[in-house]
Amino acid sequence: MPLACKTRPANNSALLLAPWFLPADASSHGPALDHQLLLNLWIALSLLALAHLILLAGLVARRRAEATNLWRIEYLPLIALATLFTTLTIKAERLWAATRYTGASLTALQIEVTGVQFAWYFRYPGPDAAFGITRPQLVAPGEGNPLGLDPTDPNSADDQVTSELVIPANREVDLRLNAQDVIHGLSIPELRLKQNAVPGQTIHIHFTPTTPGTYAILCTQLCGLGHYRMNATLRILPPDQFTAWLASKQKAATP
C-alpha cells in the first residue's frame, strides 16, 4: 500500500469541517464577538432566502394587482432591513468600543507594543511602573536597543524589552500600540483582537485573557518585502508562573 494511504487521517470529515470553525477563544470578550459574528452570518443567510421570495412575490403581484398595492412587498421589507442593519451596527460598535474607547482599569497590566519592519517588540515597565523615554536617534537593534531607550532616563533602567508577549491569565491587559516606520496590523485571532499600529500615534487596546496557552501574533498590514516573517508569539501563563517569569527577566537585567 502506498505511504500516502497509510498516513491518511481516518476522519476526513473533521478536516473538511475544521476551516469552518472559529479559532479557539482565549479572551473574556470573545464569546460576545463570536455571537455577533454568527448572528450576522445566520441573518445574511436568511435574508438571501427572503430576497428571492420577495422577488418571486413581486413578479407574481405585478401580474395580479395594481402597482399602488405593491408597497407592502417593496417598501415594508426595505424598512425592516434598514431597522435590522441599524440595530446590528449599533451593537457591533458597542462591542468594538468596549476594547478600544472605554478605558482600562487602574490595575491593568501595562505593556507597550512596537511594530517595526519586520518584528514586534514588547516593553514592560519595571517596579517603578513607569516607561522610560525613547529617542529615535538611539534606536540600534544590533546593539540591543531596538526601541531607542534613553540610558540617561532613570525610568528606562528597569524596563524589559522582549520579542514575545507574555501575559497572565484572568488579569486585564492594556496594550499601548505604536510603530517606528510604517503602519503595522497587530492581530491575535484567538483573542479576537485586531488593531493597527500607526507611526506617531499611541493606540490603547485592552482585554482580559482567560485560557493559558501559546498563540500566534500576526501582522495584517502589507508592511514591506519582509511582511511574511513579521510574527511573534503570545504566551498566556497562570498568574504565579507569569510573576516568576517577570521576576526572572528583572533579575537577569540587574547588573
- pLDDT of 15 > 60? The answer is no
Task: List, for residues 48-80, the tens digit of each pLDDT value.
Answer: 888 778 777 767 766 555 555 656 666 777 788
User: Residue 8: what pLDDT?
Assistant: 38
Confidence of residue 4 (pLDDT cuts 50, 70, 90): very low
Confidence of residue 16 (pLDDT cuts 50, 70, 90): very low
Strand 173-179 with 109-116, pairing: parallel
User: Residue 17: what pLDDT?
Assistant: 45
Q: Region 14-25: what's the mean pLDDT?
A: 59
Check whether residue 163 and residue 42 sit in a common domain: no
**Burial 75-114, CB ≥16 within 10 A → b, else e:** eebeeeeeeeeeeeeeeeeebeeebeeeebeeebbbbbbb
Residue 209 C-alpha from the chain's centroid: 12
User: Residue 5: what pLDDT?
Assistant: 36
Q: What angle do CA 155, 158, 160 make, to 5 degrees?
A: 115
Task: List, for residues 78-125, the tens digit of each pLDDT value.
Answer: 788 788 888 888 877 777 776 565 677 888 999 999 999 999 999 999
Look at residue 115 and give its three-state secondary structure.
strand
Average pLDDT, the chain: 82
Closest listed residue to residue 100, CA positions, set 212, 233, 192: 192
User: Residue 43: what pLDDT?
Assistant: 83
How distant, in Å, are the alpha carbons of 160, 233, 236, 245 from that of 240? Answer: 19, 20, 11, 9
Q: What total number of domains does the chain contain?
A: 2
Confidence of residue 39 (pLDDT cuts 50, 70, 90): confident
Strand 165-168 with 160-162, pairing: unpaired
Check whether residue 62 and residue 151 sit in a common domain: no
Residues 210 and 169: beta-carbon distance below 8 Å: yes
Check whether residue 163 and residue 229 sit in a common domain: yes
Residues 6+ apart with CB under 8 A from 108: 171, 172, 173, 174, 206
- pLDDT of 169 > 60? The answer is yes
Beta bridge mates, 116: 119
Distance CA 203, CA 184 (A): 12
Q: Which of 81, 100, 119 is the last residue of a domain?
A: 100
User: Residue 99: what pLDDT?
Assistant: 59
Residue 3 lies in a domain: no
Residues 246 and 129: beta-carbon distance below 8 Å: no
Q: Which amino acid is at 204?
A: H
- pLDDT of 254 > 70? The answer is no
Residue 7 lies in a domain: no
Q: Which helix (H) or strand (E) holds 6?
A: helix 3-6
Rounded to 5 degrees, what are φ and ψ at 252?
A: -65, -30
User: Which domain, by its residues, includes 134?
Assistant: 109-253
User: Residue 73: what pLDDT?
Assistant: 63
Q: Which of 100, 121, 143 is the last residue of a domain?
A: 100
User: Residue 12: what pLDDT?
Assistant: 45
Confidence of residue 126 (pLDDT cuts 50, 70, 90): confident
Task: List, for residues 191-210, the tens digit of each pLDDT value.
Answer: 988 999 999 999 998 899 99
Check whether residue 164 and residue 182 sit in a common domain: yes
Check whether residue 115 and residue 235 sit in a common domain: yes
Check whether residue 229 and residue 199 sit in a common domain: yes
Confidence of residue 24 (pLDDT cuts 50, 70, 90): confident
User: Residue 120: what pLDDT?
Assistant: 96
Check whether residue 133 and residue 247 sit in a common domain: yes
